[in-house]
Structure 1
Amino acid sequence: MKLTSKMVLLTTMIMSSLTFAQVEIGDKQFPEDGKVYRPGQDTGFDQYKSKSLLGTKRIVLTFDDGPDAVQTPRLLDILKKYNVKATFFMLSEKFTDKNMPLIKRVAMEGHTIASHHHDHDNNNNKTESQYRAGLKDSILKVAKVMEEVNAPSREIYYRFPYGAYGSGSLSYHHFNVMKEVSQELFGDNCINFAFWDIDSLDWLKPMDQKDVIANIISNVEGGTAYNMVKGRFSGKSKKDKYTISHPMGGGVVLMHDIHARSVDTVETLLKTLKQKGIEVVNLSDVEEYSYKGKECRLLNK
């Protein structure tokens, strides 16, 4: 095939954009060293999406709000059956003596345990001291478990409840506190915050298994997806069907391991992903979340 000048120009533009995207990834998911974040201005999370997964047919499965004494073991059994690894964003208020064997099981079976803060309250409603205490508690407990089970990798991932941070009503910014807590615990900028690209909406009761799976697949391949909208006249929420014509082609998926209906969906989801050639990868294998050889170990605490 003979290349025209227009084709050469198009190819050059595509390669340039790919190079730019690669440069943009960097350490984007860490709070930037030397930057003072501003409440109400440094916020949102579109800029923190997983660009490296776009168009790859690769996803990361993440599960929030656990551990749950009943549902988390069920989920672990399913993941083990299909040899799939996931990331569990846990609330440290659930790190009780009763739950500790389960938490350690998650880590020992090769999954990633991560922090979802101490509780699930909106951090935009907390004072700086309240946020700092909850963050430190959750990060310290997660890191100690990884030490106790001798986890080969010690990546420190954190997810804000509701994805809420940086409100303009606050006198402080969460990222600045995050850097200070990280320096105190690790002597380095080690806390890698992780939002999500694909919300499965598994937490909404009207969503059945087919809806949840469709919400994930449609973001990878395109097609029908579902959301909740308020009725024009009734004002009540109802399920609404829509079409994704320009899918992302991959990303970090948000699910939950505290609902039976969510865990019930996972086995069918994994079968569907395999049939469609969609690969499930670890969070640490994603460019944006890679520590690139950085070692994060707790100081003497």
Structure 2
Amino acid sequence: MSKVIILLMVMGITGCSKAVQTTSIVTVPKTEVIAPVQVEVPQIVTTEHVVSAADQKDAAAAVINNVKKEGLRVALTFDDGPDEKYTPRILDILKKEQVKATFFVVGEHAKQHPQMMKKIVDEGHAIGNHSWDHLNLAQAATDKIQSEISSTDDVIKQITGVAPKLFRAPYGAVSPQVVKESQGSGHQIIGWSVDTLDWDGKSVAQILANVRKEVSPGAIILQHFAGGKHGDLNNTVQALPQIIAYLKQKGYTLVTVPELISAK
């Protein structure tokens, strides 16, 4: 009898799982022709990612995408920064136009650019948590979700003295566990109702058209202040003054997300 060694690679479905190599020994008679051996590997399922449609619907309902209250108010929001290239230009425009916005920061970027973080807060803007490294938390294990949120909270507070109370999930992707962990750590979960698609390399005209088409009272408008397709957000910067001018022309008051939520 000869022995054939078969190596099996078993990968868990959680985002933090690593490959585990196991060895199986199959005995094959010498007189028989050795053919490929198929071994059925049991499917590994983690209960963290078995989510019912009802639970997922409840998770989505926990996200604040707009705020329907009396008055013409909207909130400009920016994701994924800060950086040293686009963040200063956006802040300068907002300062010139006397507009306050909300910045959802990525923890590792905040750590790399503490002066930009201080500038955002010093100029009166609101800060929100956007995870540590923009991981899709809806596919992550519970401990990873916790660390992504808490690490970002910690670095924001360390740099600015502000403990963020807003959280926006990367890609807007939420799960019941993301909702549980973010709300459990004292955050309101913020989405958006107007996606400018500025990150996708849209032209200035297209960005402005997206705002005109989708904006309504209580809207939360999504833009970016770092990253973007091929790292280019020049059109975001160029479109911003036009967006502000259009919204003001239509009678909107531009506020931060906390102001939008608390408005009566």
Q: TM-score, normalised by structure 1?
A: 0.62
Does residue 63 of the first structure (1) align with residue 72 of the second (2)?
Answer: no
- Cα deviation per residue 1:68-119 (whole Å; 9 max; x = unaligned)? 21100000000000100000000001123x5101110000000112110101
Deviation at 1:215, TM superposition (A): 1.3
Distance 1:179 1:251 in 2: 22
Choose which of 103, 107, 110 in structure 2 pairs with 1:88.
103
- Is 2:104 aligned against 1:109? no
Q: How does 1:40-189 map onto structure 2 within 5 Å?
A: 40=52, 41=55, 42-45=58-61, 48-53=64-69, 56-96=71-111, 98-147=112-161, 156-166=165-175, 173-180=177-184, 182=185
TM-score normalised per structure 2? 0.70
The aligned amino acid for 2:94 is L
When Rg is computed on C-alpha atoms for both structures, the one with the higher figure is 2
Q: Which runs of 5+ in 1 are unaligned?
A: 1-37, 168-172, 183-189, 221-247, 293-301
Q: Distance in 1 between matches of 2:242 and 2:126?
A: 22
Show CA shifts across 1:218-258 (max 9, x none).
223xxxxxxxxxxxxxxxxxxxxxxxxxxx44411001112
Aligned-partner Cα distance in 1 for 2:258–2:101: 10
Tell me the matched-pair count.
Answer: 205
Counterpart residue identity of residue 280, structure 1: L
Give the match for residue 209 of structure 2: 214
SS in structure 1 at match of 2:237: helix
State the Cα RMSD in Å.
2.4
Task: Report the counterpart of residue 201 of structure 1 in structure 2.
Answer: 197
Deviations 1:253-285 (A, max 9, x none): 001112222112111221222222222112111
Pick closer, same or farther for the CA change 1:140–1:60 going to 2, 3 Å.
same
Identity %: 30
Deviation at 1:201, TM superposition (A): 1.4
Given the superposition, is the C-alpha separation of residues 291 and 126 from structure 1 closer, same or farther in structure 2, using an over 3 Å criterion? farther
Runs of at least 5 residues in structure 2 that lack an aligned partner in the other structure? 1-49, 227-232
Question: Per the alignment, in what secondary structure is the counterpart of residue 255 of structure 1?
Answer: strand
Q: Which amino acid aligns with 1:210?
A: A
